[in-house]
Structure 1
């Protein structure tokens, strides 16, 4: 008899159909009109067993004004959730994730991958919280006025404003996500935060020495303080840039060895719906990577030949495939359930409540 699919929470992913036209697939900045939550998106998410996912909205990079752009994208997602209310449920508390599963809907968590939309106005934290944002990543790859990203050469810690922002995020019970942050920014935020922090999508630097991955010191500190670490399905898992599902397992095993089995989960950084034509996508990807490099927002390990996903962990079977590999590794049903979603829910309870 097959093992029942556990609750699955993707701490950072996508909920859309990536099969856009070649004209838009290579664009550095996706506009609100490019977000495609269609029937296939929802059918694939259901078929995969996905319970909930943190999506990225608002300003991450580009030339637009961060604050108005972020408000506009929150409005776009509010409309998407309203249009698909039979299938999607906004997540504001940990209990909403469990209720989404009971109702047969997919939980959607609003998250930022860059906090620059706050500007210099800390009162915007409360505004974003009221609008449903629940995860705030402090930096993208580059430096901002909060701290240094993973590709910033200075490797500063938090700026004075950054320390105030971390405190304010805690007051409003929002997750402080340290994905993409520089090492010192991550360590300082984890030490100074009054509530546990997270790294929702990363790999382990001990296995692949690239800036987007986290050192054992960072992983351990976040876990020791009650936080959460999500492992991604990204090229940074191996030096070749072409990881397999087995490499994802190795990073999960290492993270559990460092952090313990109650602090680790998954944050794939990708969609459930697979790209149909990889040959067409390759040509768009080459321009996308080159444009990111020219704009100074790319990460070490991104190349024209590296897909931003693991080829044998994509599509509707990605979670079931990972579960089978973890079973073969000797992991118990209970540990697998924790890593596939239970740990994120328990962390969310500590931050958002029920």
Structure 2
């Protein structure tokens, strides 16, 4: 693969994130080229992907197809940007199919970000297939993929000693897309929250993966990993434009994960994601030499950041060693442009 020429991209999944990802690929035409789009939604199949995206995007001359095998065979992509679901069990076959077609895969599937504990058999299969085909399979996004794992790992890079890493993320879900507001349970009752929680697929998917990636990156063997998921309730009514949340109803989630060694909480991840939050911010604190205290005022806007991580990981996987990789295995994520932002810049 000539990574100095435009990389051929197939977009697999055209939900809100998939559409924004395809739009970004189209905007970066030159370094990357959108050559195919896959989705099973009958309302999208057969339409030009630009028509599906809207937002004034001009024709892409790429038709949406529900036949993944045909698209992969005819378009022969260098990289598939995969945005379908959070759970690895539902997409392992899709990832294998893409790899067997000779394409690298960058996926927003949260459980893929560090799948070794939750899905050891699928991890072995994906790694084996990727190595057989000479491609990379990687899961990424803003969280997991950046804010609560890659970023804090990078923050420790200047430390000669690390005694603890503590990450906090507060997200005003009122500013986010409707599917995320639904995902965190905005507007449901406490009883409904507990029922969803008991189902085992509610809350933020990937928090445990972020904690384990942090521990692995630091070379720490955690003795215990604890997770706690509880509701945040609205103090006053909140109208997000998508959902009406009454006072006393669930506004979102407070999800935390703690990694302990010798009983001490050396790794803590604290995620609060709910509608009506007064302020969004991201915070990383490293107990070490030197200590690190990072705070992102206004927070890292997740919808845009997820798209950025997906697209910006494309050139990284195209140059990486084949196999199942995590963001800790790949080079430092960075943006890329098709031309200098300043005329005359190198």
TM range (shorter): 0.3 to 0.5
* Greater share of strand: 2
TM-score by length of 1: 0.33
* Greater share of helix: 1
TM-score by length of 2: 0.34
